[in-house]
Structure 1
Amino acid sequence: MTPATPAPVLLDAVPVQQEQRDKSRARRPRLYVLDALRLIAALSVVAFHWTGVNLHPEVWGQKPKALMPTVNGITAYGWMGVQLFFLISGFVICMSCWGRSPKDYFISRVVRLYPGYWFGVIATALVVNFAATVRASRKPLSFSELLANLTMLQKPLWVPDADGVYWTLWVELRFYLLFAVVAVMGLTYRRVLVFCGIWTMLAVITPYTQIGLMDLLFMPNDAPYFIAGVAMYLIYRFGVNPMLIAVVAFSWLISQNRLHATLGAYRHEVGYNLSWNVAAVITAVFFLVMLAAATGLLNGIQWKRLTVAGALTYPVYLLHQEIGWALIRWGRDHGLAPYPLLALCLAAILTLAWLVHRFVERPGSAWLKRMLESGRFSLPKTDPPVLSR
């Protein structure tokens, strides 16, 4: 008798036929809900910096906790929009580079990040250096620091960020570097799943090693969000199976533990203790909403104008902190009441973000993509001829 074929292990839970249908399954409805979630995350961070931070009372003339206590109690958790960003990033990066060459992956990240970022650095530096001082603790950027910020590598260069919110870009860059390892080998279900498992274990053990390089590479506080986002994209592409649900569940379990360290870091900016219970519930909601999107439960959201919301997210994020604080200080000095002032500042930042997207990001990305695809920046297949002397 022919022996029965053994059941596949969970790592191979996606059938071969499903891998073969990869290209056809890639043509899924656009997830407009991700554009909405991006903007929600960005506005959450905006609310935190404008009304949740009590560290810089000179912005409003007093601490927001005293000026608007109810709003401050809510927006003190607005920093958690960053965690939602990381979840979305894990999903989107996996989606955007699936089936693409390493060169295409590199180009897509460069043209997406740098044109708007360069504008944001320069505009923020002009405000910080030449507008009326908003914060006594904020020092003007030197020309050398400005140039270093243009690389997006100011953190490892020990140069202050042009805008404090740019610290997250260094986290994103490290995620891109880690994911490039599996992207170079070629993305498959098995390889990406193994990547998630290995990164999870390395991120968990990193705090115990007390090795700075491991902390730098494996990002124990932020890794669970990226890993869960990647696993959710596998769910979106290949369907639900126990292994992927386990990866997402373990990522949330780890993230709630790492929240203790994150809450401690934000206590300095807020000025009082934040509730772990509230933060854990918010994180769980983020995971559940993203899981609903991955499983198709939110495919009914098909409002095409949400793509505009998604497009505004990055410039809003880049421009809102130092420039927003300067706008608040200006409005306060001119006698505007807090809530009308907030509405005016938000309208100004959204308008500026649209202008940056329309006249900086779109043409800048197109030009940069043409340059990178022209072959001028490709590695030569052979050594160039030696110059005669």
Structure 2
Amino acid sequence: MKRLELLDYARLSAALCVLCFHYLYNGIENGKVTSIDHIPGISEWAMYGYLGVPFFFMISGYVIFFSAQGRSAAEFAVSRAIRLFPAFWAAVLLTSLVAVFWGVRSAGTSVHPAQVLANLTMVPRVAGEKYVDGVYWSLEFELAFYLLVFLFLLSGWRNHLERAFLLWPAMMLVVLLADLPKLLFFGGQFTFFAAGAAFAVLKRRASMSASMAVAVSAILCIETALAKLPILPANDGIQYSRQVIVMVILSFFAFFLFLNSGKGASLHLRGSRLAGNLSYPIYLLHAHIGYMALSRFATNENRIVTYFGVLIAVLFAAWALHRVVEVWCGPLWRALFTKSLGRVVATLRPDGAQRTLAVGDPTRH
């Protein structure tokens, strides 16, 4: 798929929305930022920044559909591993190092060795450990979605992936209307992956079935977002607005409609590649490191300056992580995952094995 420069800025925007949510609202609300109060007039809007995460999920659903085209299961697995794990491992270790010096047990930012090791798997709850950084919860959903697509490729059903993605929203709707038990992949956050995938199919081949899948996905995504309202924290009696949440979700769908248009696909935006490359490292690094820095240095008197200082530090750390871990060490990761994961998967499905071992795919998303 041709690189969509607007999509790179969408990734960065989603990461910055989540950052604002954590710094300006949630960190203070949940007691992880202990030295400052909410900024009136700003926190009431920052509280909706958590919706950047489902936007990320939609982007993943959209991009992964194209990423799976023409790839063997081994190639897909290697490309996903290169994308997810090296930056994540570096972020876990860096966040843990900062927590050794600044972490506070009562605020939930301290760590211990077993917790750090469990987090390196990306699924620490399997070992009964908490996340080193709370934002890592979303990576389990990313990993599960990648696993779903991987199993399709491994089973030799690549040619059926498009049809499966079109049926996915309809199956979710049946589960919802019949009030069936929520199974993995058939509700919750996966509605956003399904929406992104439906838009990808619509871009590849416009049809009534693809349009219907997008429409059904919109209903499901709104239902998922509103279902979360009872568990969202309220700041000093300020409640989340159902209308605002619905409008934000619909804006995501409007964005993808524009992205699928000729104008959206042909936009050339300066700095888009850097914007896209920094989005994942920013997401990985910002939360607990930011909480600890704000608690240590910010007061109600200097919080604006401190916010900017922490933001600049996080952006620099994200850039350094990208350059060192993902770019400079990129050939190392490509060789490592191709010779390990790629070979293991190739033995499970031999077709395409030679191509997998010869091609270390550096796909960015």
Shared fold by TM > 0.5? yes
Pairing partner for 1:80 from 51, 64, 69: 51
Residues 1:70 and 2:41 aligned together: yes
- Return the match for 2:224 from 239, 258, 276: 258
Find 1:229's aligned residue among 188, 192, 196: 196
- Assess if the C-alpha contact under 8 Å between 2:14 and 2:55 holds in 1: yes
Deviations 1:154-203 (A, max 9, x none): 13332100000000000111111122232332433x54223441464147
The 5 Å alignment of 1:1-389 reads 26=1, 28=2, 30-53=3-26, 54-57=28-31, 59-64=33-38, 68-131=39-102, 133=104, 136-138=106-108, 140-184=110-154, 185-188=156-159, 190-198=160-168, 200-202=170-172, 205=175, 208-210=179-181, 214=183, 217-218=184-185, 220-238=187-205, 240-267=206-233, 272-332=238-298, 337-374=302-339, 378-379=343-344
Contact 1:203/1:218 (8 A) holds in 2: no
Identity %: 29
Looking at structure 2, the residues matched to 271 and 262 of structure 1 have their Cα atoms a distance apart, in angstroms, of 17
Q: Which amino acid aligns with 1:127?
A: V
CA distance in 2, matches of 1:327, 1:265: 27
Conserved in 1, the CA contact under 8 Å of 2:92 and 2:119? Answer: yes
Deviant stretches of 4+, over 4 Å: 268-272
Q: 1:317-370: CA deviations, max 9, x gaps?
A: 00000101122123316x862222211111111111000000112233321211
Q: How many residues align?
A: 344
- Provide the TM-score with structure 1 as the length reference: 0.81
RMSD: 2.5
Q: How many angstroms apart in 1 are the aligned matches of 2:286 and 2:253?
A: 26
Secondary structure in 2 matching 1:156: helix
Is contact 2:136-2:284 (8 Å) kept? yes
CA contact (8 A) 1:200 1:223 kept: no
TM-superposed deviation, 1:132: 5.2
**Contact kept in structure 1, 2:21 and 2:48, CA below 8 Å:** yes
For residues 318 and 203 of structure 1, the distance between their equivalents in structure 2, rounded to whole angstroms, comes to 32
Inter-CA distance 268–295: structure 2 relative to 1 (3 Å threshold):
same
Whole-angstrom distance in 2 between the partners of 1:371 and 1:257: 42
Gapped regions of structure 1 (runs ≥ 5): 1-25, 383-389
- Structure 2, unmatched stretches of 5+, are 349-365
> Whose Rg is larger?
1
Query: In the TM superposition, what is the alpha-carbon distance from 1:32 to its structure 2 partner?
Result: 0.2
Q: Does the 8 Å contact 2:29/2:235 carry over to 1? A: yes
Distance 1:157-1:328 versus aligned 2 partners, 3 A rule: same
